[in-house]
Amino acid sequence: MTQKDTANGVLEPREWWKEAVVYQIYPRSFNDSDGDGIGDIPGIREKVDYLDHLGVDCVWLNPVYESPQVDNGYDVSDYRAINPEYGDMDDWERLLEELHDRDIRLVMDLVLNHTSDQHVWFQRSRDGDEEYADYYFWRDGRGGEGGGKESYPNNWESFFDTPAWSYDDEREQYYLHLFASAQPDLNWENPTVREELYETVNWWLEKGIDGFRLDVINLISKPEGLPNGDPQADTQVGIDQYVDGPRVHEYLDELAEHGFGDYREEVMSVGECVEIDPETALDVTGRKSNALDMTIFFEHVELDRDGWKYSEWNLTDLKTIMSKWQDAVEEGAWVSLYHSNHDQPRGLSRFGDPNYRYESATMLATWLHGHKGTPFVYQGEEIGMTNVDLDSPAELRDVWAQNYWDRKRNAGAEFSEVADRIERFGRDNARTPMQWTDGKHAGFTDGEPWIPVGDDYEECNVERERERDRSILEYYRELIDLRHDDDVLVYGDFELLSPDDEAIYAIRRTLPAADYELLICCNFTDGTPTFETPAEIDFDRAEVALSNELDPDRNPREVDLRPYEAAIYRLY
């Protein structure tokens, strides 16, 4: 860690993970090397030079552990083995070496809240093995064995539109699962469970990785007695009980001490925290516990939805949310900056306009990277991939979407009545194969892909992007280069300008010892609004650091912005 560097205007400790741009790889859909239709680790290795060309500093790899793939790897059956569909440990070690050879770090995705029901721990717990009996949450029913809703141990609901309890005929009890029934929750109250998990964390760190993205990490502490949740909850019942439980900070501190150990200061830890707010982000990144370097928050990607229903949103709402989180960063938290990931629909389809693919994709990138935090680029975002159309429920692969459809079908609905909601918000949108070429299956595989390829692959693919004069891909490279070279963009203070403007998102970034400041202007519409730099911002001259237009206005005092135009100015 480098201490305060006032000569360069940096007024806080430098950290590699603050200065990095992270690229997220969903391995099942990135690149298939053996023609079985499923992406794999050798396929990722084939594209390491592409990642190097893009300029990213770190790869976040979604789970590649051994798994029955009920939730595409988030149901782990062996934490220390690679799923054979993806390769083996030798393939993984070669990938790590090839990334490190190019100065690209590797962060693994780790699921510590639950396992697969195929994990040996659950199998032995189900069998009544005394050593493993309480590795998970087992409870008797309240109204008879294997009965209906009234018989469940409590009224909690899962995140996947089902009750949070399933009955096991072998053990003759219910077990808790906050996600799919094949993902039983681990009992962190058992110190042996915690020790097993900390040893797993340390085992991977000793193999040379550079950190973890910790899945739903703030669910690990459940309250004593597992009391009922508020039946009138806005989301799933029970969330008021199992989010940020009573011992979560104790467990996170233990994780830092016994899991990360001597690696704590070297690695990056990213916490996916459900229902997180800025105060909690401050707590888990140092104020009350110290295992997490940054958090993943959700408010901005929930702006346009109410469950599976569309909700109208305004740019001022987005500004309010992002400004609130930037305030938390100024107070000492740190955040991941993203608009797309494996759990979200494509950001371009939500916050931009696919009819202006280049303009709105590059505008959204500029907007995101203009904030203070660590930018995350999700595979395909850098070429403008969008949401997909659904022809039938047979095309669904996402367990969450499948559960939603099953519930609606059982209530008498036709697929046509819910297809638009699933098309808008289903996670399959983010999981269609990466589009490399305009050839068969978008160059992803020589076989039949596990999930259909997006309809626009002939127009939207890496090969075409490399040929274009104005390319989303090239713009991302330039934006990432700019961030590498500009401390103001990384460490500068954030100020939102024109908070009531419904068309233009404008940001001011300042660093006390720098001889310039940054002005970032983004038009979120297909209109041509005018931005006027506030009079109190004084500058003698301006230069364009980056723009998605070939001939941007050189004077930001008053700028007429074209549809989805974005520009970053240095003001001296």
Determine the Cα–Cα distance for residues 254 and 223; give it in Å rounded to an integer. Answer: 18
pLDDT tens-place string over residues 471-522: 999 999 999 999 999 999 999 999 999 999 999 999 999 999 899 999 999 9
Q: What are 138's strand-pairing partners?
A: 175
Confidence of residue 6 (pLDDT cuts 50, 70, 90): very low
CA pair distance 361, 347, nearest whole angstrom: 9
All residues at 6 or more sequence positions from 225 whose CB lies less than 8 Å from its CB, including other chains? none
Per-residue confidence (pLDDT) for residue 234, from 0 to 100: 84
CA angle 64, 66, 70 (to 5 degrees): 90
User: Which residues are CB-neighbours of 400 under 8 A, at least 6 positions away?
Assistant: 159, 160, 161, 426, 427
Q: What is the pLDDT confidence band of residue 7, given thresholds at 50, 70 and 90?
A: very low
State the pLDDT at residue 496: 98
Confidence class of residue 12 from pLDDT cuts 50, 70 and 90?
Answer: confident
> CA-CA distance, 176 to 185, in Å (whole number)?
6
User: Measured in Å, how far apart are the chain's first and last C-alpha atoms?
Assistant: 30
Q: What's the rounded mean pLDDT across residues 414-432?
A: 93
- Rounded distance between C-alpha atoms, residue 295 and residue 452, angstroms: 32
pLDDT, tens only, 112-157: 999 999 999 999 999 999 999 999 999 999 875 555 667 999 999 9
pLDDT at 391: 84
Average pLDDT over residues 52-74: 97
Whether 300 and 318 have beta carbons less than 8 Å apart is answered as yes
Distances (CA, A) of 321 to 277, 297, 324, 337, 369: 10, 10, 5, 13, 16
Contact between 468 and 488 under an 8 Å Cβ cutoff? The reply is no
Q: From its phi and psi, is residue 112 left (phi > 0), alpha (psi between -120 and 50) or beta?
A: alpha
Sign of CA dihedral 203, 204, 210, 215: negative
Cα Rg of the chain, angstroms: 24
Return the number of other C-beta atoms located less than 10 Å from residue 203's C-beta: 12
Residues near 170 by beta carbon (within 8 Å), at least 6 away in sequence: 126, 127
- Segment 160-169 shows an average pLDDT of 94
Confidence of residue 2 (pLDDT cuts 50, 70, 90): very low
User: What is the pLDDT averaged over residues 273-299?
Assistant: 97
pLDDT recorded at residue 54: 98
| C-alpha span between 547 and 174 (Å, rounded) | 57
153: left (phi over 0), alpha (psi -120 to 50) or beta: alpha
pLDDT at residue number 3: 35
At 200-241, the pLDDT tens digits run 999 999 999 999 999 999 999 999 999 999 999 888 999 999
Which residue type is seen at 375? P
Task: Assign 1 a pLDDT band (cuts: 50, 70, 90).
Answer: very low
401 close to 423: Cβ distance less than 8 angstroms:
no
* Mean pLDDT, all residues of the chain: 95
pLDDT above 90 coverage of the chain, percent: 93
Check if the beta carbon of residue 27 is closer than 8 Å to that of residue 433: no
Token readout for 208 is: 């040379």
Indicate if the pLDDT at residue 417 is higher than 70.
yes
Q: Report the C-alpha gap between 541 and 555 in whole angstroms.
A: 8
pLDDT score recorded for residue 144: 55
DSSP code, position 63: P
Q: Compute how many other C-beta atoms are within 10 angstroms of the C-beta atom of residue 204.
A: 18
Active-site annotation, residues: 215, 272
Structural tokens at position 481: 């280069």
Over residues 181-188, the mean pLDDT reads: 98
The pLDDT assigned to 341 comes to 97
**Residue 464 phi, psi (nearest 5):** -65, -40
Residue 286 has a pLDDT of 96
Is the pLDDT assigned to residue 549 strictly greater than 80?
A: yes
**Taking 90 as the threshold, does the pLDDT of residue 368 lie above it?**
yes
Which 8-state DSSP code applies to residue 212? E
